[in-house]
Chain A
Amino acid sequence: MSFDPVFTFGTIGAAALIGMGIAHALDDGSLALTQPIAASELVILGPGSFDHPQAGEFLKENHPVAAPVVQEIIEAPLEIMKYQVSVLDYGRCVADGACKSADTRKIGNIPVTGVSHIDAEAYATWLSARTGEVWRLPTDVEWAYAAGERFRGDIEGGEDDPNNPARRWLAQYRTETSLGRKPDPEPRAQAAFGINSKGLADVAGNVWEWTSTCFVHTTMASDGVKVASSIDNCGVHAVEGFHRTYMSNFIRDGKSGGCAVGTPPDNLGFRLVRDRTSLVQAALRRLGFS
C-alpha cells in the first residue's frame, strides 16, 4: 500500500517563498551577504511513502534475484528542481571557476549534458556556497519519488534459473529490445518532454540524471527479505531516466560508459534537491545548538 500526498508549487513564486521564508528566518547573518543568483524553480513534494525496487545488484543463495521492492518513506517535504540544471545555470558555475566546462555543444535554456557525477557534485557545492543553502543530488529513492509514474528502475531479466543463467541474460536483452527505445542524442529545450504528475519537467526524457546513490552488491538472507551483507562501490552511482543504470563517477558521455550490451543513456545531466533538514541542522550548529 502506498499513499502519496503531493504538494506541487511549480512556480518561481513558490520557490522564492520558500527561499525567503524558512531559509532566511534561520539565517545567522552570513546568508544575507550572498548575492542571490537566479532562483531555481522548485517543486515541493509532501511526505509520503511508496513501493520502490532497490538500486543495485542483488544475490540470493549465489544467484541473481530481482531487486527487492521496499516501502520507502519520504518524511520531510522534498524540494527538488522542476527542471534539470540548464546550460545557462551550469555556465555560471563554470564562469566562477568552480565547475569544469561541460562537454555540451549547445547553449541556452536546455539541460546541461556531458557532465559527470564529479561535475554535478561540484555544481551542488558551488550553488550551496553561492546561496547559503544546502543543495545536493537526490538519492535514488528521492528521484524515484519525484519521478512518479515515469520511474522505471532497472531493466530486469527476472528470476534467475539456477540451471541456466543465460535465460536471465536473454530475457533482459529481449525486454530491453522490446522497449524499442531509439537513440535520441540531441538535448531539447527545457520542458520539451513535458511535466509529470508531480510537476517535474523532462523526467525520463533523453537526459539521464545523476543521483547520490552508490552502486551496491547486496546478498539477501535466505528469507529473501533481510540483507545478509552488502558491499558499496561509490566510484559508481545510479543514474536515472528512461531506465535506471549505473555509471562510473567520471563518465560524461553515457554512451561510452556502459557495457558490451545494454541501452546506454543518451545524455548525462542532473537536477538537485534543496535540503532543508541539513540547512536547519547547519543553521542550528552555527547558532550553537547541536
Chain B
Amino acid sequence: MLTRREALLGTVLTAAAVATVGAMPAVANAKDVAGLPREKVTLVPPPFVHAHDQVAKGGPKVVEFTMTIEEKPMIIDADGTQLNAMTYNGSVPGPLMVVHEGDYLELTLINPETNTLAHNIDFHAATGALGGGELTLVNPGEQVTLRFKATRSGTFVYHCAPGGSMIPWHVVSGMSGAVMVLPRDGLKDDKGKPVHYDRIYYIGENDFYIPRDEKGQFKKYESAGDNYDDTMKVMRGLIPTHVVFNGKAGSLTGDNAMKAKVGETILIVHSQANRDTRPHLIGGHGDFVWEQGKFANPPAKDLETWFIRGGSAGAALYTFLQPGIYAYVNHNLIEAVELGASAHFTVEGNWDDDLMMQVEAPKAIAS
C-alpha cells in the first residue's frame, strides 16, 4: 500500500494512483514539496502556449514560472487608440500557464522599478489568501515568489487585485491571464474516453474603457495614473469602448491569423476576467466544450456558441472538417465587428462536398 508521502513524491506511482492524487486528503509540508522534482518553464506570449505534456509523465512536480510586470502604452485598434496598459510579462492577456492536477505552480512575480504602481496576482486556481493576492503585492523594485497547489483541474483566470477600485482598473488595463490545470491523465470526452489536441490556442478577451475628449476622440495619457479619474467614469457606465482578443482589435487576423489543417484537433482556451462573453466559431462548432472550464465535469457536445462567464476561462475542442477562413468571434456581433472581438483561423485541406456545396451559383430568379 502506498503511503501518502510516496504518492505525493511520485516514487512508486501507478497510473491509477496518479489519477487519485487530487482527491486524497494529503497535506504536504514545505519539506515534502522540497523533495519534488522541479521544472522551469519559459512562458510564451498568447495566442501561443508553452510546450507541455497533455498526459503527465511521472508524479507531481513543482513547475516554476517567472513573470515580469510591464506598464507600457499599447495600441488597441486600427485607429491608433492608446491604452496605458499594465501587463503580465508584456502581453495582454498575460501568458497561459499549464500544469497538471497535483502539481505545484510556483510563480516569481517581478515588478521592476521602472513601473509606477504596486501589483499582485489573484489565481482563481489557487486556494486561500485571496487567490494569492494577499501574499504577492509588490511595489516597483520588488519581486515575490508564491507557490500554490493545483488541486482542481480546469482553466482558470488570474488577474491583478491590488484592492478597492484598483482591482477593476488594473484588470481593464490588461492585467489578466489564465492557468490550465490538466488532469494527470489528460482530457476526456463526455464518455470518459481520452481526447487529445494537435494545437492549442489561448485567447484572452479584454474589455477596455478609453475616455473621449469633448470632440468624441479617444484621449491619450502620459501614464496610467493620469487616466485613472477619466477611465473610472467610463468604467462605471459599464459600456466598453473596445472588446478585443489578444489585446488589440485585429491582432489575430492576417499574418497573425491562427492556423490549422483539416483533420487537426484544436483546443481553444478562452478567458475573460471581467465580463461575460460568448465565443462562436463561424462555420464550425465546439465538439467538446468545457463552458465553465472545469475538466472534472463532462464536456458539453456539439455547441454552436458557448458562454464564458466574466471572471472565468473555458475550453473548446474542435476538429476542423472543412478548409477555408473561419472567423472566431464573440457572438455579440456588435462587440465582434464594431468593438473588435474577432479573430481568424486559416485552415488548409480538402473540401468535403458532402458536408457542403453550392448547388447553384447566384443567378436571376427563375420566373
Contact = CB atoms under 8 A, between A and B. Distances in A.
Interface stretch (B88-96, B295-303, B320-328): B320-328
Given A63-B361, A173-B325, A229-B364, A185 B348 contact: no
Contacts of B351: 163-166
B78 to A, nearest CB: 3
Given A63-B361, A260-B327, A255 B255 contact: no
B324 A261 contact: no
Contacts of A63: 361
A164 B323 contact: yes
A245 interface: no
A185 B337 contact: no
B323 A167 contact: yes
A170 B325 contact: yes
A217 interface: yes
A224 interface: no
A260 B282 contact: yes
Interface in B320-352: 322-325, 327, 329, 337-338, 342, 344, 346-351
B323 A166 contact: yes
Given A59-B361, A261-B325, A255 B350 contact: no
B80 interface: yes
A173 B364 contact: no
B130 to A, nearest CB: 40
Nearest to A174: B346
Contacts of B350: 163-164
Nearest to A266: B78
Interface in A173-230: 173-174, 176-177, 180, 183, 185-186, 217, 219, 229
Given A164-B351, A185-B78, A261 B327 contact: yes
Nearest to A161: B351
A66 B347 CA distance: 22
A174 B353 CA distance: 23
Contacts of A281: none
Contacts of B358: 62, 165
B366 to A, nearest CB: 12
A177 B348 CA distance: 16
A174 B254 CA distance: 8
Nearest to B327: A260
Nearest to A258: B337
Contact of B217 (A105, A163, A166): A105
Contacts of B216: 105
B164 interface: no
B192 interface: no
A173 B346 contact: yes
Contacts of B322: 166
Contact of A62 (B79, B217, B342, B360): B360
Interface in B160-189: none
Contacts of A7: none
Interface of A: 59, 62-64, 105, 163-167, 169-170, 173-174, 176-177, 180, 183, 185-186, 217, 219, 229, 231, 255-256, 260-261
List of 8 A-B pairs having minimum Cβ-Cβ separation, nearest first: A183-B78, A166-B323, A166-B324, A164-B351, A62-B361, A177-B254, A260-B327, A59-B361
